[in-house]
Amino acid sequence: MSSTAPVANRLEGRIALVTGGAGGQGLEHTRRLAQEGAMVHFADINAEVGAEAERTLKAEGLQVVFHQLDVSRIEQWQTLAAELEATVGHLDILVNNAGILADIHPAELSTEAAWEKTTNVNQKSIFLSFHTMIPLLKKSKHASVINTSSIFGLVGADGYLSYVASKGAVTLMTKSAAFSYGRFGIRVNSIHPGYIDTQMLRDEFAQLGEGAEEATLTTIPMGRLNATAEEISPAVAFLASDDASYISGAELLIDGGLLA
């Protein structure tokens, strides 16, 4: 497994916000954007893990600030937007990474509560982020939004109805936003990870039971299942940067060829 070295100073002076930034892929996105020079505000529902991540990243010499945020709560987004407005005045990079896999069941065995939780965290959060952060992004000369969808935001999957619905929505909300905000210089793209080695994937295989991991492996052309979060973050940094200055409304698959 490999990942590329950060591009020195590519994001110098940029202000970024990463949701779900205390763990998994979000923590690596936070680290990578900061390594490339951005001041990264990272937000997560888990305050304890967030505070620990802030200490670790600062000890690495990175410019980061942790905020507690439940991405499904409008008033918390409003508070964060007001704080960013008062302290830094604008936003250059928004990474909507926070997401959950709350349920792996066919609809008849699932619950309304699982549907609503998935929809609120994975889908409504994207609306709330646009609702509160677009005014700050409009003040940037380099605005880029990266939404984390999934391979399951492009194709269906057995038992993943709520997750697929929410991630499919992320894919098309990204394209709609690319239409709406292109004229303000705001680029909006989605990334579509395959199977990434984080807590979410470990929980998923535990739920699916013995043999699931081996069975999934046979479907991946690159012959390995678990990409690391460090293999996703370079794509996020690229889309955030001026190297992607004419890329908007795009779907970037990072799946080892799974959907090829």
Is the CB of residue 22 less than 8 Å from the CB of residue 50?
Answer: yes
Total H helices, total E strands in the chain: 9, 7
Q: State the Cα–Cα distance between residues 131 and 184, nearest whole angstrom.
A: 15
Catalytic residue among 160, 163, 181, 195: 163
Q: State the Cα–Cα distance between residues 191 and 18, nearest whole angstrom.
A: 14
The reply on whether position 189 binds ligand NAI by CB under 6 A is no
Residues 15, 69, 133, 137: which binds ligand NAI (CB under 6 A)? 69
The reply on whether position 201 binds ligand NAI by CB under 6 A is yes
Residue whose CB is less far from ligand NAI, 70 or 85: 70
**Which residues, 20 to 49, sit near ligand NAI by CB under 6 A?**
20, 22-26, 44-46
CB of 197 to ligand NAI, least distance (A): 7
x-marked contacts with ligand NAI along 127-166 as a string, rule CB under 6 A: ---------------------x-x----------------
Q: State the Cα–Cα distance between residues 142 and 11, nearest whole angstrom.
A: 10
- Residues recorded for the chain: 260
How many of the other CB atoms lie within 10 Å of CB of 93? 28
In the chain the first and final C-alpha atoms are separated, in Å, by 20
The reply on whether position 19 binds ligand NAI by CB under 6 A is yes
Angle between helices 47-59 and 24-35 (to 10 degrees): 30
The reply on whether position 196 binds ligand NAI by CB under 6 A is yes
x-marked contacts with ligand NAI along 93-132 as a string, rule CB under 6 A: ----xxxx--------------------x-----------
The reply on whether position 168 binds ligand NAI by CB under 6 A is no
Q: Is 195 a catalytic residue?
A: no
Is the CB of residue 236 less than 8 Å from the CB of residue 95?
Answer: yes
Is the CB of residue 28 less than 8 Å from the CB of residue 230?
Answer: yes
Residues 6, 193, 234, 256: which binds ligand NAI (CB under 6 A)? 193
- By CB under 6 A, name the binding residues for ligand NAI: 19-20, 22-26, 44-46, 69-72, 97-100, 121, 148, 150, 193, 195-196, 198-201
Active-site residue list:
163
